[in-house]
Homo-oligomer: A and B are copies of this chain.
Amino acid sequence: MAVRIAVLGERSPAGDAPGDELFDAVRRGGGEIVAADKADGIVWVDPSDPGGLERAMKTSPARWVQLPFAGIEPFVSAGVIDEDHSWTCAKGIYGESCAEHALAFMLVAWHRMHEHIGATRWQPEHSSSTERRFHGQATVAIVGTGGIGGSLASMLEPFDAYVIGVNRSGRSLAGAQRTVVVAELSEVISDVDFVVLAAATTPETERLLDEAMLSRMKSDAWLINVARGALVDTDALVDALRRRVIGGAALDVTAPEPLPEGHPLWELDNCIITPHIANTWVMGLPALCGLVERNVAHFAAGEPLEATVDPELGY
């Protein structure tokens, strides 16, 4: 008998109801699409509605829940992640997309593209031009060495960059010249040109980039955030950018998010903001469908699932 799976959630992040792609992925994995009250497993598509999931779970005999994103804080803080179910998320599979967003931010920053995109006249180089070649000259600290960090390290190899991995365990990041634990970030941060945030939000990483940490960065260094806004103390960042304590910031995520109109970050010429699009629903859907197909097949066969959530770590 096929394993029975409910694909649930009012809206995907693109504003749509769950699409055929996920139903097809479940079927390719050997699953049958059913309603919640008949389901052995739930594939949940809405990353911002833990209450909806909690209600669905009360009506369902499901023993496994697949979440659609890597960052699952809303579900952790709502207390939905329990011990009675197996939990999987989408950690790891969106790494390339966020890593390439981070690399683009770094290249844009050093080639000063943000000063020209949207301009309507030619502003040629001049004697105080500050464009920099990235190749062979950049030192990059990558905070978080999961899917994003690992992809980014490999993308940096042809650029002959000096890469410092920063993580909880100190376990070596492949492609990095050096890996340190989070507590050592305050030491290495004084030597780097870029701090790339690619970590989950945990009590250890929340507001890791606060006033003290920002003040230790080089005055021309850039902060890149493609992970979670909560990793940064936004008020301290605004102050550091205004006073040119650091060179700039490129943010795909913010706290608060969405960043409200009129927020001071919008007006700073050394701050680049994209609206959480490093990995959109559409960009990531093929990878999510692949994961769902594999996990449905694993679940049906009683095999270990991929991308399991550790409730204690919160990711």
Contacts and interface: CB of A to CB of B under 8 A. Distances in A.
A135 B101 CA distance: 11
A118 to B, nearest CB: 4
Chain A's interface: helix, strand, loop or mixed, by majority?
loop
Q: Which 6 residue pairs of A and B lie closest in terms of their CB atoms, listed nearest first? A: A96-B135, A104-B107, A122-B258, A118-B118, A120-B266, A125-B280
Nearest to A101: B111
A116 B282 contact: no
Given A100-B111, A113-B104, A121 B155 contact: no
Given A154-B158, A282-B125, A282-B131, A111 B15 contact: no
A108 B104 contact: yes
Nearest to A106: B104
Interface string A253-284: 00001111100001100001111111111111
Interface in A100-146: 100-101, 103-104, 107-108, 111-114, 116-127, 129-136
7 contacts: A96-B135, A96-B136, A101-B107, A112-B277, A114-B117, A122-B259, A122-B275
Interface of A: 13-16, 96-97, 99-101, 103-104, 107-108, 111-114, 116-127, 129-136, 151, 154-155, 157-159, 257-261, 266-267, 272-284
A116 B277 CA distance: 10
Contact of A277 (B129, B257, B276, B279): B129
A261 B120 contact: yes
A260 B121 CA distance: 7
